[in-house]
């Protein structure tokens, strides 16, 4: 018998659901289903061109809204560009999708306070993204000196109540890659918050116990963090398991098991400071499987299944909905979604690869069987 743990749900269409499989589940009476408020993705790379067309149905089928990262080539540095990119995304959405892209601006050394006012007035830009120059994919135009170049902009962001989203790693090549998040907290984030305590900051894709402790130590409602599926289920061994695994390479790089456990404890504790941000970051296969592969894991297909598994294994399924669907909008001051989705405890196989016009994408956990199937209601 199927056991519904939460409340009744309205229909949503998820294109990759296999209805025959669903019927089989019901027929054989496999376990349970969860009904939860439709989640949002507070950290999403949708790219542009063919890749956008290929990936957008996956996110749009699961999520109500997505914070869209601005690290395109060229980056989305102005409100004008953000408005145009939003239009492109809306055009690429499947028919009948009501997915809402929440746009962001890419902070540079020369972003003006005026641009922040324009962003706020636009009504479609919800945050500004800090990429330390050289820290990650397409961050070349990022910030070289936050305190030296960006203080007037950050002060305007406080006035406009515009959150700063942070890729929290220093770029000094002398700092060990596994320590870059911790050093960033000590040398940039803590001083920033002391200087501008009213600034809202999201520490994106936290990967260490240090980051978890730091976020927990800050004032609730001002500092929060997104957490990816990969940093909840993989540790740094996964990058080297049986040979080099380019599809498990992302930034900030996966860390030790102790860090992974600290992140799991934090999110499953029920703290409001942590919320879902997949950091789904597609790259064409040849850009991952080459001598200098790109950082980024494509997890849009599997994210909800993985989050559910993590909360289930921690005995914290009752906290899953807040992490997925409440903490994010509450932090951003936006309404929670009103529609619902189901997660059904039923095995499903992740495709080996996804073909699209310019090549293929290898999804996270390609070819593996996962347990929780996101479903229409």
Among residue numbers 175 through 234, which ones bind ligand NCD (CB under 6 A)? none
Cis peptide before 276 (omega within 30 of 0): no
The reply to whether 167 belongs to the active site is: yes
Among residue numbers 69 through 98, which ones bind ligand NCD (CB under 6 A)? 71
Catalytic site residue from 40, 41, 45, 255? 45
Strand (E) or helix (H) holding 44: strand 41-44
Question: Least distance to ligand NCD from the beta carbon of 71, Å?
Answer: 5
CA dihedral sign of residues 35, 38, 43, 44: positive
**Binds 137, which of Zn ion, ligand NCD, none (CB < 5 to 8 A, cut-off by type)?**
ligand NCD
Q: Name which of 66 and 342 has its Cβ closer to ligand NCD.
A: 66
DSSP 223: E
Strand (E) or helix (H) holding 34: strand 32-37
Strand (E) or helix (H) holding 129: strand 125-130
Among residue numbers 299 through 358, which ones bind ligand NCD (CB under 6 A)? none
Contact residue for ligand NCD among 45, 58, 182, 285 (CB under 6 A): 45
CA-CA distance, 317 to 162, in Å (whole number)?
Answer: 32
- Judged by the rule CB under 5 A, the positions of this chain that interact with Zn ion are 136, 167, 279
Strand (E) or helix (H) holding 274: strand 274-276
> Vertex 130, ends 124 and 134: CA angle to 5°?
130
The reply to whether 45 belongs to the active site is: yes
Strands 340-349 and 274-276: unpaired
Catalytic site residue from 62, 77, 167, 342? 167
The reply to whether 205 belongs to the active site is: yes
Q: What is the number of the residue whose Cβ is closest to ligand NCD?
A: 296
**Short-list 159, 212, 157, CA closest to 181:** 212
Residues 153 and 121 sit within 8 Å (Cβ to Cβ): no
The reply to whether 231 belongs to the active site is: no
**Binds 207, which of Zn ion, ligand NCD, none (CB < 5 to 8 A, cut-off by type)?**
none
Residue 343 CA: distances (Å) to CA of 17, 120, 170, 173, 298: 11, 36, 38, 43, 20
Question: Least distance to ligand NCD from the beta carbon of 86, Å?
Answer: 18
Question: Least distance to Zn ion from the beta carbon of 237, Å?
Answer: 22
Each residue 154-183 as x (binds ligand NCD by CB under 6 A) or -, in order, gives -------------x----------------
136 binds ligand NCD (CB under 6 A): yes
> Vertex 204, ends 201 and 208: CA angle to 5°?
110
Residues involved in catalysis: 43, 45, 129, 167, 205, 279
- Applying CB under 6 A, the residues found at the interface with ligand NCD are 45, 71, 136-137, 167, 250-251, 279, 281, 295-296
């Amino acid at each position: 018998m199927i056991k519904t743990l939460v409340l009744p749900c309205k229909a949503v269409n998820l294109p990759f659901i296999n209805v025959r499989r669903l019927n089989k589940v019901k027929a054989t009476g496999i376990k349970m289903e969860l009904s939860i408020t439709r989640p949002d993705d507070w950290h999403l790379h949708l790219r542009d061109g063919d890749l956008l067309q290929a990936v957008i149905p996956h996110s749009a089928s699961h999520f109500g809204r997505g914070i869209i990262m601005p690290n395109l080539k060229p980056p989305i540095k102005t409100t004008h560009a953000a408005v145009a990119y939003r239009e492109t995304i809306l055009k690429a959405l499947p028919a009948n999708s009501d997915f809402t892209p929440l746009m962001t601006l890419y902070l540079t050394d020369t972003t003006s306070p005026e641009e922040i006012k324009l962003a706020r007035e636009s009504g479609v830009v919800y945050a500004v993204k800090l990429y330390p120059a050289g820290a990650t994919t397409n961050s070349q135009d990022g910030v070289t000196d936050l305190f030296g170049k960006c203080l007037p902009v950050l002060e305007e962001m406080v006035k406009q109540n515009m959150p700063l989203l942070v890729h929290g790693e220093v770029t000094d090549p002398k700092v060990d890659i596994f320590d870059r998040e911790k050093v960033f907290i000590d040398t940039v984030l803590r001083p920033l918050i002391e200087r501008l305590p009213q600034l809202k900051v999201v520490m994106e894709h936290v990967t260490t116990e240090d980051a978890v402790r730091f976020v927990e130590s800050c004032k609730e409602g001002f500092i929060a963090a997104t957490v990816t599926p990969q940093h909840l289920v993989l540790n740094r061994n996964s990058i080297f398991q049986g040979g080099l695994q380019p599809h498990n390479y992302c930034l900030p790089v996966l860390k030790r098991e102790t860090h992974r456990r600290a992140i799991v404890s934090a999110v499953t504790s029920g703290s409001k400071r942590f919320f879902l941000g997949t950091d789904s970051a597609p790259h064409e296969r040849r850009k991952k499987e080459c001598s200098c592969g790109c950082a980024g894991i494509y997890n849009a297909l599997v994210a909800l299944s993985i989050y559910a598994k993590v909360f289930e294994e921690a005995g914290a399924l009752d906290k899953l909905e807040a992490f997925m669907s409440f903490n994010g909008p509450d932090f951003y001051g936006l309404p929670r979604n009103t529609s619902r989705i189901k997660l059904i405890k039923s095995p499903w196989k992740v495709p080996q690869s996804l073909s699209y016009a310019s090549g293929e994408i290898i999804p996270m956990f390609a070819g593996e069987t996962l347990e929780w199937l996101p479903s229409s209601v």
